[in-house]
Amino acid sequence: MARSPLGNPMIEALVTALISIFRVVDFILDIAVVFSRTHRLACWATGSDKLIAVPADPKVLPPAAQRALAEAEARHRDGASFIDKYVSASCK
């Protein structure tokens, strides 16, 4: 019967578990290094040293801007079509 090199099966299982945990941690750190290097490459390529922060919620338009936008949409919706604006009636 072959004996395990460590002598005790419990110790061998513990060593195997520790090696597995080490490999998982090493893999996670490798992924972190890839993200860091990708970020550095992007900063080098764009010439920027900051990431662009996007606001969580868009700002609410002031009432005057909302009215102007509603008027523009109404003109677009109710107005003449492109062909009516730029082509005379004799050419239709």
Place of tokens 């801007």: 65
Domain residue extents for the chain: 9-50+60-91
Q: Is the pLDDT of residue 1 over 50?
A: no
Note the pLDDT of residue 6.
63
Q: CA separation (Å) from 81 to 37, 44, 85, 87?
A: 52, 48, 6, 10
pLDDT tens figures, 53-91? 666 777 788 999 999 999 888 877 766 555 566 665 555
Query: Is the predicted pLDDT of residue 13 greater than 80, yes or no?
Result: yes
pLDDT in tens, 15-46: 999 999 999 999 999 999 999 999 888 888 88
